[in-house]
Amino acid sequence: MVAVTTNVGRNGTEPGAANILKLGRAFRYGILGLVGVFFIIPILASARFSFLGNNNTITISAYTQLFSTQQFWSTLFLSVKIGLGTVLLTLALLIPTVIWIHLRIPKLKRVFESISLLPLVIPSVVVTLGVTTSFKGLPNIIMGTPVILALEYVILALPYSYRTFDSAVQAIDLKTLVDAGQSLGAGWSKLLRFVVLPNLRSGLLGAAILAFAFCLGEFAVASLLSFTTFPVFLVQVGQVAASQAVALSLIALLFTWMPLAVIIIIFGQRNASSKKRAVSLATTIAQEETTGIA
């Protein structure tokens, strides 16, 4: 008889396969590293430029001058208020619409996805004029206030918010969850509150953050409608003081990244705790089965 020997690694894989896995892992990390460097280097260069003063000395004068300007705080609070209003309007539009589409007319999902992408194809100037003309009959409390800007932003941010929330709905078995809840006697209010929305938390937060970030960075529509928002103030400052404009852009990035960091930390902790509960539950079940067999 001929003895057949195979070289198997510690993880049950052959050396060739293990080397391929290592190469693939190193390639992925290398690509991620290059992408990270591509984004981080301009941010670090901008931060360095914002702290440079005369004769290349390090100073925080750009930030202190901004923080002492009343227009900085007024435009920032205006953009934050418009962003929060846009988020509320966006979620109020998306939650019932997307759920209804998936439950009642799933064959038209592609049609609604194409409609949601129209603001990317149509220029923002055309969208602004169209929405302003459509809302002409509304009271002056809407037309002459930042409310009209929030309504515009709901439409312009739709390609990002709709796709994010729609992907979250597609990731769960919505019809089964709704049928199970209704079979237990739950109404729509309880279904949304205790069954559907808890499973769509990540999609809701993602859509909200994208809509809010869009409001903090949008310039054209606010300028056309003669509102001095944070991006408009940034452009005005950039015409007279470059270092302060760069400092403003970094502050805008900070306002966008802070919610993202908080959400990543919260969901990371929840995923870790849920994995621990699952492991402890499986261990308990295994112990009970072992005791029963014994």
**Which residue, 39, 49, 40, 162, is CA-closest to 98?**
162
d(CA 111, CA 103): 15
DSSP 60: -
Region for 240 from its dihedrals, namely left if φ exceeds 0, alpha if ψ lies in -120 to 50, beta otherwise: alpha
DSSP 145: S
* Residue in the structure block whose two tokens are 């609070």: 77
d(CA 259, CA 26): 30
Burial bucket for residue 249 (CB in 10 Å: 0-12, 13-18, 19+): middle
CA-based radius of gyration for the chain: 26
Question: Model's pTM, two decimal places?
Answer: 0.75
pLDDT of 293 reads 53
φ, ψ of residue 226 in degrees (nearest 5) = 65, 40
**Which residue, 195, 211, 258, is CA-closest to 87?**
211
φ, ψ of residue 6 in degrees (nearest 5) = -130, 145
d(CA 89, CA 173): 26
What pairs with residue 165 in β-bridges?
Answer: none
pLDDT of 279 reads 47
d(CA 190, CA 21): 47
Query: Taking the chain (294 residues) in consecutive chunks of 10 residues, what is each chunk's mean pLDDT?
Result: 49 61 80 85 86 79 87 90 93 92 88 89 82 76 82 90 90 85 82 84 86 87 88 87 85 78 64 51 51 55
In whole angstroms, what separates CA 179 from the centre of its chain?
30
Report CA-CA distances (Å) from 254 to 43, 112, 285.
11, 33, 46
